[in-house]
A and B are shown apart, each in its own frame.
Chain A
């Protein structure tokens, strides 16, 4: 027995001799749950983490940059642009001498092909193009090549310039090499099957390998027009379990842990070999009340709920402080974000009870509170249930799979919900419409808040060219929405990562995460 133990220990020790090689200086290893990866085709991809890969493998006419804390669309492949007087015709002038990673020239043909490709394939991101009035039916008239370096698009309405530029700056605006895509086309798929796990772009990186549920490997594009990136190889290693990410980060087997919990990230405080990077997330966490259901029809009841919630303790206890106390639908730092008082609500039970009494519900009522299965949402629902109980509202919590919850939500079938909303493109319009304009059939519609004043204001602000006027419109809308809207905004999450100390520039690269992540800024 003793002998066998000795043998076992010796074998293990021997095996330990051949340890992991340390990570080379020009390589970045990211540990992340890649279960969400569906495709790396820019015309199809819509998930946040895979979009990081897509936006670094492709370049678009514009690019999102965080400038002074504000996410803005800046020219990338387009050297300049003009907008016609009626605000609908956009003319883009491409840089000369651009090439794809494989050396093929990048000209106006590729831009026109890529935009039409999004419309023809008609996958998740298409609605953003369609919201500008570009459709598969009208694309031959609305998307045109003028010459090799000039492209023209015609939008259906005179949208605010930032709306159009932001939409084109996202991962779905990435320009695809038509030669490569067509060479791999199967039927009418325009190379989509092949582009699921390959790339044909002009971004700083090239997709070298995607072994599903194992790893994604990116290699530097030495022909990138701004110069080759400093990190030559990026490996995203699939690590579905967050504890694995934490242990591997501490041992130095990965450079970045992508999906740590607040408790895990807090456990890294004081560890000299690891830095904690945080950035405001491009999303909102909210409680929604169905304005077409029972007591919530009364704005006073909705207001009472907003005064019943203890926002600060939710931020402190449930998300470990990794959130901003921002109750506006516009994230901090955006155009239209009102800086004076972004969190007008705080728990005031006496006021909430008074409002309930005025509304005719002094003894409260029963309501079903729905949320999905993540631990954080469950905890939030429990905290809200306890807060609501203080003003007599008995909330029965129902936990559902996200797929089930959203299905019911889209059919306006939910009384009360705890959910989140990710920003689709960095402009106030991308938030004002879902949260205040029921006509776009998104959140306000799902919660049956058919308020024409709010809807008109949200719509008009989307077209306003005068920045000062537009800003005032969003401020007015916000004030009205606070008092009348069916949402109690809980917080704006902070995104956080555990990163090895030798990795530099990660904080700059991560600014605006959710919409943009620029690997070019990372080095060791």
Chain B
């Protein structure tokens, strides 16, 4: 199959997935026997006010009619108006997503550096204490709850040692950068606001470590496996026989060849970092999309829940697509 045909096929599949996501999310959000207006107005509100508000918001219409309105809006790129913030959902997403994206970018950088190093060390020193340490570290990364890791790191590095700041994106008295991308550190650098860039960098260290830890673990495991695979191959033996130094064999020959599966994992991990930031964002007071969706869920803000979930699913699908396309470009056998 030609690459262009493959791309078209993947795009169509993605559209189908997004349609499925929107239908499922709509119906899950609406079958819950709860009442978003009642939740918004609070426990005290009299029933007539709840009914009036439902009418104003069109929530008293039959379900299929609400679904039709939602799907028509979606087709026009309109996620509707958030019941809670009373603003277009797309505007809310535009405000919250850059914070999540920035955190995901720093997390993935952290996990790539640490994960690849751990993977290499593990593979090269197979079955040594370094290997065992790296594997235990990886298992802990996958199994430790983000909530716990986050609070422990805050306790040590913020409260006890005072090396790093607490929660939020910037210190309270730091002048924030002008809005360009919405990502604080990038905007600070672009506008030459070095104080904010430095402050932002200090603030993002702990949350990106916490968020990236689990990803580090999977990158380390796949690097190790792939390295071991490559290290057993003939060309490595040849390189060693030629008398090349261990360092050159490992970094120039083995590592380069073992990175392809690692890149795939990195791509998929990045997608999952975008959707997995909810707890990290809560612990670190990070104004991202994860918290937006959770807050929306608590009051059953239908448009926000549906818009936010759709957007995250889209981001994940795009990351997935990018990985598949990279792979397909590199290896024509994948285009079948």
Chain A residues within CB distance 8 Å of chain B: 12-13, 15-16, 18-21, 23, 29, 35, 38-39, 46-47, 122, 124, 126-127, 192-193, 196, 211-215, 235, 237-241, 243-244, 247-248, 250-251, 253, 400-404, 406-410, 419-422, 424, 434, 440-442
Contacts and interface: CB of A to CB of B under 8 A. Distances in A.
A16 B44 contact: no
List 7 A-B pairs, minimum CB-CB distance, nearest first. A403-B39, A407-B35, A404-B34, A213-B287, A16-B163, A403-B34, A247-B159
B171 interface: yes
A214 B84 contact: no
A404 B56 CA distance: 20
B172 A404 contact: no
Given A18-B198, A237-B168, A403 B35 contact: yes
Contacts of B292: 213
Interface stretch (B46-54, B62-70, B217-225): B46-54
Given A18-B202, A239-B285, A247-B158, A12 B163 contact: yes
Interface residues of B, number: 61
Nearest to A193: B86
B164 A244 contact: no
B45 interface: yes
Given A38-B84, A211-B287, A247-B154, A406 B38 contact: yes
A47 B299 CA distance: 13
A35 B34 contact: no
Nearest to B176: A211
Given A124-B42, A212-B95, A241-B283, A248 B86 contact: no
Interface string B138-180: 0000000000000100110111011111111101110000000
B39 to A, nearest CB: 3
B281 to A, nearest CB: 8
A389 B133 CA distance: 52
Given A238-B168, A403-B299, A441-B48, 5 more contacts: A213-B285, A237-B285, A238-B287, A421-B43, A421-B44
17 contacts: A15-B205, A16-B164, A46-B41, A193-B86, A212-B85, A237-B172, A240-B285, A241-B151, A244-B284, A247-B155, A251-B162, A402-B39, A403-B36, A403-B298, A404-B34, A409-B43, A441-B48
B253 to A, nearest CB: 23
B42 A239 contact: no
B285 A244 contact: yes
Of the candidates A18, A20, A401, A440, the one having the most CB atoms from chain B within 10 angstroms of its own CB is A20
A47 B87 CA distance: 18
Contacts of B36: 403
Contacts of B43: 402, 406, 409, 419-422
Nearest to B167: A244
Nearest to B297: A401
Contacts of A402: 39, 43, 298
B295 interface: yes
A35 B291 contact: yes
A248 B50 CA distance: 39
Interface of B: 32-36, 38-50, 52, 56, 84-87, 92, 95-96, 151, 154-155, 157-159, 161-169, 171-173, 198-199, 202, 205, 282-285, 287-288, 291-292, 295, 298-300
Contacts of A409: 43
A20 B167 CA distance: 12
Contacts, number: 164
Contacts of A241: 151, 167, 282-283, 285
A464 B47 CA distance: 27
A247 B166 contact: yes
B32 A404 contact: yes
A440 to B, nearest CB: 7
A18 B56 CA distance: 52
A262 B173 CA distance: 31
A407 B172 CA distance: 40
Contact of B35 (A213, A235, A406, A419): A406
A19 B162 contact: yes
B164 A248 contact: no
A243 B96 CA distance: 23
A363 B87 CA distance: 56
A253 B166 contact: yes
Nearest to A122: B52
Contacts of A422: 42-44
A47 B40 CA distance: 9
A21 B174 CA distance: 9
B282 A251 contact: no
Contacts of A400: 34
Contacts of A253: 166
Given A16-B164, A20-B165, A124-B42, A212 B34 contact: no
Nearest to A251: B159
Given A21-B171, A237-B168, A406-B43, A124 B35 contact: no
Nearest to B169: A214
Nearest to B41: A124
B290 to A, nearest CB: 10
Contacts of B285: 213-214, 237-241, 244
Contact of A47 (B42, B48, B157): B42
Contacts of B164: 12, 15-16
A215 B41 contact: no
Contacts of A29: 172
B298 A248 contact: no
Nearest to A244: B167
A408 B32 CA distance: 12
B310 to A, nearest CB: 20
Contact of B50 (A39, A215, A410, A424): A410
Contacts of B202: 15, 18
A20 B170 CA distance: 10
Given A38-B84, A241-B283, A46 B298 contact: no
Contacts of B34: 400-401, 403-404, 407
A211 B92 CA distance: 11
B169 A407 contact: no
